[in-house]
C-alpha cells in the first residue's frame, strides 16, 4: 500500500503552514505593540517599503527556524498535521537532515521558478518526493503519529491571530477596506 501523501495534501499543508506561521508572527507583533510604548507610535505611522522588506526577511527566517524545529521535534508541521501527514526520514530524523530539507524547501517556496519545477517533479515522481525531500532523503506520508485535532487547533489559532492583527493594524500596513457597515442604521450613534 502506498501511504505517501498526495500533492494536493502537501500543497494545502504548505499554504496552511504559511498562514499559521504568519498568524503567530502577527500575534507576537501585537504583544510587542501592546506591551510597550510602540503602540502609540505605530498607530500614527505607515510602514515604509524597506521596513516591509526587512519584515519579510525576518518572517522567512522565522518560517525556516520553525520548520526545522517542528520537523525535528514532532516530524510534522501544523499544516501537515491538519492534513494528516507526517515527514518520514529514511536516514533518521537528524538536525542536519532537517536543516537541509527546510533550507531547500524555503528556497523552492519563496522563489517561484524552482518551486514550480520542484512541484512538477514531485507530481511525476512515484513517491511524490520534491527536491527538498530527495536531498534530505525524506518523504511525506499520509499518516501521522499525533492527533489531527491538535493541528486543526494550531492552524485555527494562527488564522485567528492573523485576522485580529489585520483588522487592528490595517491602517499601519497601508490597507484600507470599507465593508459598508456605516450605511446601516444600527451603527448611527
Question: What span, in angstroms and rounded, lies between the C-alpha atoms of 23 and 17?
Answer: 10
pLDDT at 159 (0 to 100): 93
Inter-residue contact 131 to 10 (CB < 8 Å): no
Higher per-residue confidence, 41 vs 128: 128
Inter-residue contact 140 to 128 (CB < 8 Å): yes
pLDDT at 174 (0 to 100): 66
How is the chain split among helix, strand and coil, in percent rounded to 5?
70, 5, 25
Structure pTM?
0.78
**For the chain, what percent of residues have pLDDT higher than 70?**
81
Question: What span, in angstroms and rounded, lies between the C-alpha atoms of 64 and 52?
Answer: 18
Helix ranges (DSSP H) in 75-137: 78-82, 95-110, 112-124, 131-136
Higher per-residue confidence, 45 vs 1: 45
pLDDT digits (tens, 9 = 90+) for 143-184: 878 888 888 999 999 999 988 888 887 766 666 666 655 555
pLDDT at 53 (0 to 100): 80
Higher per-residue confidence, 58 vs 177: 58
pLDDT digits (tens, 9 = 90+) for 13-48: 989 998 998 888 888 877 777 766 555 555 556 667
Inter-residue contact 128 to 107 (CB < 8 Å): no
Task: Average the pLDDT over each of 55-59, 105-109, 131-135, 160-164 and give the range with the smallest value.
Answer: 55-59
What mean pLDDT is reported for the chain?
81
Per-residue pLDDT, averaged over 117-131, amounts to 87
pLDDT at 24 (0 to 100): 87
Higher per-residue confidence, 183 vs 98: 98
pLDDT at 35 (0 to 100): 66
Amino acid at each position: 500500500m502506498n501511504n505517501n501523501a498526495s500533492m494536493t495534501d502537501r500543497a494545502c499543508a504548505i499554504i496552511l503552514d504559511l498562514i499559521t506561521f504568519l498568524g503567530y508572527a502577527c500575534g507576537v507583533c501585537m504583544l510587542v505593540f501592546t506591551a510597550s510604548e510602540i503602540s502609540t507610535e505605530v498607530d500614527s505611522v505607515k510602514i515604509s517599503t524597506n521596513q516591509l522588506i526587512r519584515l519579510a526577511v525576518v518572517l522567512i527566517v522565522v518560517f525556516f527556524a520553525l520548520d526545522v524545529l517542528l520537523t525535528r521535534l514532532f516530524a510534522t508541521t501544523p499544516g501537515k498535521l491538519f492534513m494528516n501527514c507526517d515527514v518520514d526520514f529514511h536516514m533518521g530524523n537528524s538536525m542536519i537532515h532537517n536543516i537541509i530539507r527546510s533550507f531547500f524547501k524555503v528556497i523552492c517556496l519563496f522563489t517561484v521558478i524552482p518551486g514550480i519545477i520542484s512541484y512538477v517533479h514531485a507530481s511525476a515522481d512515484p513517491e511524490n518526493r520534491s527536491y527538498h525531500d530527495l536531498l534530505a532523503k525524506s518523504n511525506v506520508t499520509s499518516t501521522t503519529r499525533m492527533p489531527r485535532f491538535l493541528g486543526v487547533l494550531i492552524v485555527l489559532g494562527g488564522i485567528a491571530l492573523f485576522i485580529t492583527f489585520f483588522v487592528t493594524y490595517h491602517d499601519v500596513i497601508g490597507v484600507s477596506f470599507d465593508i459598508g457597515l456605516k450605511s446601516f442604521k444600527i451603527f448611527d450613534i
